[in-house]
Amino acid sequence: MFLFKDIRQYHNDLNNTKTSCVEVVENYLQQIEANKKLNAFTEVFKEDALKKAAEVDEVRKQGKPLKKLHGVVFAIKDVICYKDHTVTAASKILKGFKSVYTATALQRLLDEDAIIIGSCNCDEFAMGSSNESSIYGNTLNALNNTKVPGGSSGGSAVAVQAGLCMASLGTDTGGSVRQPADFCGIIGLKPTYGSISRHGLIAYASSFDQVGIFSKSIDDMALILDIMSGPDEYDSTVLQQPGKTFITPSAGKVKYRIAYFREALHHPALDEEIKKSILSLIDTLRLHGHTVAEIDFDLLDYVVPAYYVLTTAEASSNLSRYDGIRFGHQTKNSTKDLTDFYKQTRSEAFGKEVQRRIMLGTFVLSSGYYDAYFSKAQQVRRLLSNKTDVVFAEFDALIMPTSPTTAFSIGDKTSDPVAMYLADIFTVFANLTGIPGISIPLFSHSNGMPFGLQVMTKKTDELTLLQIADLFMKEYRGN
């Protein structure tokens, strides 16, 4: 049976003829079938993956230089467009829709000879924290099938967690890569906003959405980020400077200046065992010569309200295009006029959570409430950005829990949307401010589930972020 460690070792095995890309893809297809109950995939691209594997095997046999992702097997979230493949955002409104082009981020992987094995389950339109709002049903956490895998990129996380691919792509609007990574015991990265093109990504909230990466290796994460990042003529929000090189994250014996928010580690919602583990890690970091300082942050309780005001406002605008006229679901009921047709189509095809967020967004943008909600939330976002600039003027990194709890049981929060929203309290900060964040699996809870640490750095400083993550994974994992 093929065992994947990292891309470097995989390429060594290929070059030494210990395996082939076709054999590896066949192994993953068998694993996907054997783990079908996890419901991680919405569609498996069996024929395409085997065809591509045979092509890259032939390249290697001919002695040609290997591209950076030669034969590396990826899965992608069902909100990322892949030409001539179905993309539905896990929603009935896009049932059967096939993309007419490929997302820039994905195309850059394909250009380096990556193999895409399938599309992964997620919360509908990436709106959720548990992968329970998908038209395809729940994805199950591979470590404990009674627990959620996190959301919205739950399927992409489980695909890596369960060994169904080598790495996967998700999206992170408010923690949708970092929180599932935390719940599944793997690494999840949200890069700086604008570092990776959003062209070909089905939008939820355009000023927050960012393509993210799941893997089990920091080195792999660095390589994938290096390939995907950089300018794109199709996305005006992408940072225009050329992408930096992240391929060698090792930082040697650097001593870092690290901050943490007092209000975060002493928040009443935070699990006591998670709190103690992180405080213990802080003590260890200090003993090893790193500077770790507690700082006050009196805006923590504002981040979730500001986030949901702004993201639902953007969602109500972005999702207005799904009207049943040009593509996707159309109501079969008789309608009296076009407005009635829109109402029936959207009521039938959007799930409850998506409807809730569209209505919230429409409300906060309405003329009587725009200044009271949307404008105030924008002001909070500015205050958060200013505060972030002050923090990173003095510190190299900021650490925080990824989630207040470990993976919760399926159904625990579905009847209480506010409780579900509040679970994002530690992740939405990075999206509101546009900074990069990573969740790394360092700890294990007494309940048997993993949990991680969230590390954040200033905008465009993914190199330091990956160096610190690499250090923590090598030196402090399991402490």
Indicate the SS3 state at residue 223: helix
Of 66, 123, 74, nearest to 102 (Cα)? 74
Q: For residue 294, which phi and psi values (nearest 5 degrees)?
A: -90, 130
Residues 208 and 173 sit within 8 Å (Cβ to Cβ): yes
Active site residue 176: yes
Residues 116 and 110 sit within 8 Å (Cβ to Cβ): yes
DSSP summary character for residue 139: P
Query: Token digits for 435?
Result: 């900074």
CA terminus-to-terminus distance, the chain:
31
Active site residue 152: yes
Alpha-carbon distance 75 to 245, whole Å?
24
Catalytic residue among 176, 217, 277, 316: 176
DSSP summary character for residue 138: P
Catalytic residue among 77, 216, 413, 458: 77
Residue 408: count other Cβ atoms within 10 Å of its Cβ. Answer: 22
Catalytic residue among 20, 133, 152, 215: 152
Please provide the DSSP assignment of 329-373 as one string. ----S--SSHHHHHHHHHHHHS-HHHHHHHHHHHHHHSTTTIIII
Active site residue 366: no
> Catalytic site residues?
77, 152, 176
